[in-house]
C-alpha cells in the first residue's frame, strides 16, 4: 500500500476506504505515533499524535510537484515588485520532482514541547509559541521523539499544499487581516490560524530543514559550507515595511548563515 500512497490515489478513494488506509498507516507506525479520530468527510488527511508531547502530525501522501520558482510564479512575483527582492538563482532551475509519503507536524514544535525534551523551563505565557532553537537543539528534540527534520523537497511540497501558485494561497497579497491569519504563529493568542491545502499552519516563522544548503538546484551546485536550508520566514518581518512578502513564497529558501542568531523554528517529520 505504501508504494502507491500518493495524494492523487488517496483522495480518489471513497471516504470509508480512506479511513481504512489511515488505520493501516497507524498499525504500521506500531505505536510510535497515535492515530487521532479521522472523519474523511471533514478532514482531508488523517493525523497522528506524538505521545510524549501531544504534537500532531499529518499523513502527507506522496506525489510530484514543480520545485523552485517556475516561470509563471516569477511573472506573478514581478507583478508585485520588479525586480524581485530575492536571489533567484537559489530557486532555479525549476523542475518536477517526486516525494514519497511521510508524516509532518501540522504546526511547528512548540516552546512547551522543546522545553520538556531539553529539560528547559518555560513560562506559561510563551509555552505555545514555536520553539526557536539552534540546529543542534532542534536535532536533539526531533531525535528524542523518534522523528527527524523534514527534507527540503518535502517541506516545499507540503507548504504548497497542492497549489501551483507563488504563495500557497494564490498569486496575490491578501488584505492585512487575512495576512495576519496566515502569519500568526503564537497559538496562545487564541486566534484562528489559516491552514493551507494540506491542513498545515504556522508555515512562515522560518524552519530548519534536514539538507545542507546548495546554492541552486543545478545538479553540481556548490554547498555553502556549514549552512543548512531554512524555509519560510515571512512572519519574522510582520508588519512588513518593504517587500518582505517574498519570504512567504513557496519557493523561497535561504542558508542558515542568514539567521539573526543561529536559531530557527522547526517541525517534526516521520518516515512511513
Residue 111 has pLDDT above 60, yes or no: yes
Model pTM? 0.96
CA 72 to chain centroid, in Å, comes to 22
Residue 198 lies in a domain: yes
* Contact assessment for residue 33 and residue 48, using Cβ atoms and an 8 Å cutoff: yes
Residue 190 has pLDDT above 90, yes or no: no
Q: Which domain holds residue 119?
A: 63-100+107-271
Instruction: Measure the CA–CA gap between 228 and 210, rounded to whole angstroms.
Output: 7
187 — pLDDT class (breaks 50, 70, 90): low
Instruction: Measure the CA–CA gap between 168 and 160, rounded to whole angstroms.
Output: 5
Q: What is the 3-state secondary structure (H, E, C) of 22-89?
A: HHHHHHHCCCCCEECCCCCCCCCCCEEECCCCCCEEEEECEEEEEECCCHHHHHHHHHHCCCCCCCHH
pLDDT value, residue 1: 58
* Contact assessment for residue 146 and residue 271, using Cβ atoms and an 8 Å cutoff: no
Residue 86 lies in a domain: yes
Number of domains in the chain: 1
* Contact assessment for residue 269 and residue 148, using Cβ atoms and an 8 Å cutoff: yes
191 — pLDDT class (breaks 50, 70, 90): low
pLDDT value, residue 100: 97
The residues near 58 (Cβ < 8 Å, ≥ 6 apart) are 45, 46, 47, 48, 103, 104, 105, 106, 198, 199, 200
pLDDT value, residue 236: 82
Residue 175 lies in a domain: yes
CA 97 to chain centroid, in Å, comes to 17
Residue 203 lies in a domain: yes
DSSP per residue, 146-193: T-BPPPHHHHHHHHHTT--SSBTTBSSPPPHHHHHHHH---GGG-PPP
Polymer length of the chain: 272
pLDDT tens digit sequence for 196-243:
999 999 999 999 999 999 999 999 999 999 999 999 988 888 888 889
- Whether the upstream peptide bond of residue 84 has omega within 30° of 0, thus cis, is no
pLDDT value, residue 185: 72
Give the strand order in the sheet containing 207-214: 207-214, 223-231, 253-255
Q: Are strands 95-99 and 34-35 parallel, antiparallel or unpaired?
A: unpaired
pLDDT tens digit sequence for 47-102:
999 999 999 999 999 999 999 999 999 999 999 999 999 999 999 999 999 999 99
pLDDT value, residue 141: 98
Residue 29 lies in a domain: no
Residue 238 lies in a domain: yes
Give the residue with greater pLDDT, 255 vs 242: 255
Q: Lowest-pLDDT range, 151-155, 233-237, 263-267?
A: 233-237
Residue 40 lies in a domain: no
| Burial (Cβ within 10 Å: 0-12, 13-18, ≥19) of residue 56 | middle
Residue 216 lies in a domain: yes
Amino acid at each position: 500500500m505504501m508504494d502507491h500512497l500518493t495524494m492523487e490515489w488517496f483522495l480518489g478513494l471513497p471516504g470509508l476506504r480512506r479511513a481504512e488506509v489511515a488505520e493501516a498507516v497507524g498499525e504500521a507506525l506500531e505505536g510510535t505515533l497515535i492515530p487521532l479520530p479521522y472523519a474523511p468527510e471533514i478532514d482531508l488527511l488523517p493525523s497522528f499524535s506524538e505521545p510524549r508531547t501531544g504534537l500532531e502530525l499529518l499523513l502527507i501522501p506522496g506525489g510530484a510537484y514543480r520545485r523552485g520558482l517556475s516561470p509563471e510564479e516569477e511573472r506573478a512575483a514581478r507583478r508585485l515588485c520588479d525586480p524581485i527582492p530575492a536571489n533567484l538563482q537559489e530557486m532555479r532551475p525549476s523542475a518536477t520532482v517526486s516525494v514519497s509519503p511521510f508524516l509532518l507536524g501540522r504546526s511547528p514544535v512548540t516552546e512547551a514541547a522543546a522545553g520538556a525534551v531539553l529539560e528547559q523551563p518555560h513560562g506559561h505565557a510563551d509555552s505555545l509559541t514555536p520553539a526557536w532553537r539552534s540546529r543542534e537543539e532542534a536535532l536533539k528534540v526531533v531525535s528524542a521523539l523518534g522523528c527527524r527534520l523534514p527534507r527540503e523537497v518535502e517541506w516545499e511540497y507540503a507548504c504548497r499544499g497542492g497549489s501551483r501558485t507563488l504563495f500557497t494561497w494564490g498569486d496575490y497579497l491578501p488584505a492585512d487581516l487575512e495576512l495576519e491569519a496566515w502569519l500568526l504563529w503564537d497559538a496562545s493568542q487564541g486566534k484562528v490560524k489559516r491552514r493551507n491545502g494540506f491542513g498545515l499552519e504556522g508555515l512562515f516563522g522560518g524552519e530548519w530543514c534536514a539538507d545542507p544548503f546548495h546554492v541552486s538546484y543545478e545538479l553540481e551546485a556548490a554547498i555553502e559550507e556549514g549552512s543548512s536550508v531554512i524555509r519560510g520566514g515571512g512572519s519574522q518581518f510582520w508588519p512588513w515595511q518593504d517587500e518582505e512578502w517574498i519570504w512567504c513564497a513557496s519557493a523561497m529558501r535561504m542558508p542558515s548563515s542568514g539567521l539573526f542568531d543561529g536559531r530557527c523554528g522547526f517541525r517534526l517529520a516521520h518516515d512511513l
